[in-house]
């Protein structure tokens, strides 16, 4: 039987209250959202926070999916299921539907949150690749007020993010532009598993050429979950199969996959190229 070590438990009643509790308990305190990364880690004693600050009571304050001006705003406490079922999000960016359908399983998706996924900073995390492809911005609140960080600078290393121990991730903001298509391709060993490798693509096509490309990669050791060299290659080119295949090759060259129980490094690198190619082709078809 796996049982977490003892900890103090506090329920946050508002964002300022959560920040006050984080300040009071110090760096050994952790926020708990869906708990589907943190609680398993606590059961294995890989994490032993001294205090848990439960933010489930802030589901309204930190929830909601809405277009605000030229951005789509997604609250940190939005659960995977809610994002999957949000017509607002998935009509604008089908990449959310593609990815959410293959993140964990429906029951885990009922609890796990968007904010928790990003803050966990797992190198195989799916939404990190999605938001990197979308060039989203993370809104973070701390004692000194709000600040924003591009998702491409959010991850600072495995399980390390830009969110300081006394801060909360509040929201993700995704730029919305006409003519944008998006898609996500993942290979997993079985339903509900973490990716062996996965790629997301976002393309804005104007006048028959690629005006903007976003490529997100996960589980293959891509720095900041993205592939800037492949994106640069695509911009200004015609959206055709040859360009997509070449972009996939460039993306794969810049990956650093590690061999593990999900497969050898060369297989993962091969997947990075092929999944990037497929995601780009599907994204182009949807633009």
Partner 1 sequence: MRITVSVNGQSYTRDVEPRLLLVHFLRDELDLTGTHWGCDTSNCGVCTVQLDGVPVKSCTVLAVMADGHEVTTVEGLERDGELDAVQKGFVECHGLQCGFCTPGMLLTARALLDRDPDPDEARIREAISGQLCRCTGYENIVRSIRWAAEAR
Interface residues with ligand FAD (CB under 6 A) are 30-38, 40, 76, 80, 103-104, 108, 112-113, 115-117, 119-120, 125-127, 163, 168-169, 192-194
The stretches of 53-202 forming alpha helices (DSSP H) are 80-85, 87-92, 94-100, 106-111, 114-120, 126-133
Q: Does 17 bind partner 1 (CB under 8 A)?
A: no
Residues 6+ apart with CB under 8 A from 18: 12, 31, 53, 55, 58, 168
Q: Does 52 bind partner 1 (CB under 8 A)?
A: yes
- Give the residue nearest to ligand FAD (CB): 116
Name the binder of 107 from ligand FAD, partner 1, none, CB < 5-8 A by kind. partner 1
Closest CB to ligand FAD among residues 220, 243: 220
Closest CB to ligand FAD among residues 21, 32: 32
Closest CB to partner 1 among residues 8, 206: 8
Question: Hey, CA dihedral for 186, 188, 193, 195, is it positive or negative?
Answer: negative
Q: Which residue has the tokens 């039987």?
A: 1
Closest CB to ligand FAD among residues 113, 180: 113
DSSP, collapsed to helix, strand or coil, labels residue 165 as coil
Closest CB to partner 1 among residues 6, 261: 6
Closest CB 37 distance from ligand FAD, rounded Å: 3
Of 98-106, 181-189, 225-233, 276-284, the window that binds partner 1 (rule: CB under 8 A) is 98-106
Q: 37, 116 in Cβ contact below 8 A?
A: yes
In this structure, what are the phi and psi dihedrals at residue 231, rounded to the nearest 5 degrees? -65, -45
Closest CA to 57 of 17, 87, 115, 100: 17
Distance CA 205, CA 149 (A): 26
DSSP, collapsed to helix, strand or coil, labels residue 222 as coil
Q: Does 8 bind partner 1 (CB under 8 A)?
A: yes
Q: Where are the beta strands (DSSP E) in the chain?
A: 8-11, 29-32, 51-54, 65-68, 71-75, 137-142, 145-150, 155-157, 160-161, 168-175, 180-188, 195-206, 209-218
Closest CB to partner 1 among residues 10, 274: 10
Name the binder of 125 from ligand FAD, partner 1, none, CB < 5-8 A by kind. ligand FAD
* DSSP code at position 26: G
Among 15, 47, 108, 245, interactor with partner 1 by CB under 8 A: 108
Q: Does 70 bind partner 1 (CB under 8 A)?
A: no
Q: Does 107 bind partner 1 (CB under 8 A)?
A: yes
Both tokens of 227, joined, read 């592939």
Q: Does 192 bind partner 1 (CB under 8 A)?
A: yes
Q: Which residues bind partner 1 (CB under 8 A)?
A: 1-9, 32, 35-36, 39-40, 42-43, 52, 54, 56, 104-108, 110-111, 191-192
């Amino acid at each position: 039987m796996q049982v977490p070590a003892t900890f103090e438990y506090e329920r946050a009643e508002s964002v300022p209250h959560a920040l006050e509790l984080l300040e009071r308990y110090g760096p050994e305190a952790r926020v708990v959202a869906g708990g589907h990364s943190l609680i398993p880690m606590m059961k294995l004693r890989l994490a032993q926070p001294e205090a848990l600050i439960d933010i489930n009571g802030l589901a309204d304050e930190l929830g909601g999916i809405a277009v605000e001006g030229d951005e789509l705003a997604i609250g940190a406490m939005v659960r995977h299921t809610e994002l999957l079922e949000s017509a607002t999000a998935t009509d604008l960016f089908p990449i959310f539907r593609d990815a959410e359908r293959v993140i964990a399983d429906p029951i885990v998706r009922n609890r796990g949150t968007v904010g928790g996924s990003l803050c966990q900073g797992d190198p195989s995390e799916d939404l990190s690749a999605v938001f990197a492809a979308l060039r989203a911005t993370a809104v973070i609140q701390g004692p000194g007020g709000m600040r924003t960080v591009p998702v491409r600078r959010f991850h600072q290393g495995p399980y390390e993010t830009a969110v300081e121990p006394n801060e909360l991730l509040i929201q993700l903001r995704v730029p919305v532009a006409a003519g944008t298509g998006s898609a996500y391709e993942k290979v997993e060993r079985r339903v509900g598993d973490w990716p062996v490798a996965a790629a997301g693509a976002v393309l804005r096509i104007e006048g028959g050429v690629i005006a903007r490309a976003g490529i997100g990669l996960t589980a293959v050791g891509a720095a900041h979950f993205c592939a800037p060299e492949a994106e640069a290659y695509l911009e200004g080119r015609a959206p055709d199969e040859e360009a997509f295949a070449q972009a996939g090759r460039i993306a794969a060259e810049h990956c650093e996959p590690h061999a593990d129980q999900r497969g050898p490094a060369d297989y993962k690198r091969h997947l990075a190229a092929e999944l990037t190619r497929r995601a780009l082709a599907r994204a182009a078809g949807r633009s």
